[in-house]
Amino acid sequence: MILSKLELVFYTYIILMNLIALLLMYIDKNKAKKKRWRISENLLISIGMFGGSFGILIGMIFYRHKISKSKFKYGIPVIYLIQRMLIILITHTIGPKILEIIS
């Protein structure tokens, strides 16, 4: 399967956002243990909403971080499911049509 430039940019963005999200969860967990300045919950939620929901979700599970907070416990999985459905919709229906138009 050969990816178009647009697809490559899209997948690169998603991968980077999730790596950043996972890293931020790791950093925040370590800062919480040391009782130091923390990364704001709003920033973590925003990163999740802009494509990093899987990274936040993995960070929650792997680092056992933010799992008791309702907006993370319920919100991040919902955001992830919505994003996953959108990705499937875009890559299988809308995306090929857009690529035909621009090509």
What is the per-residue pLDDT across 58-76, written as a single tens digit (0 to 9) for each? 999 999 999 999 999 999 9
What is the per-residue pLDDT across 83-103, written as a single tens digit (0 to 9) for each? 999 888 877 777 677 767 776
pLDDT of res. 41? 95
What's the pTM value of the predicted model, to 2 decimals? 0.85
What is the per-residue pLDDT across 13-53, written as a single tens digit (0 to 9) for each? 999 999 999 999 999 999 999 999 999 999 999 999 999 99
Q: Which two tokens stand for residue 78?
A: 């919902």
pLDDT of res. 50? 96
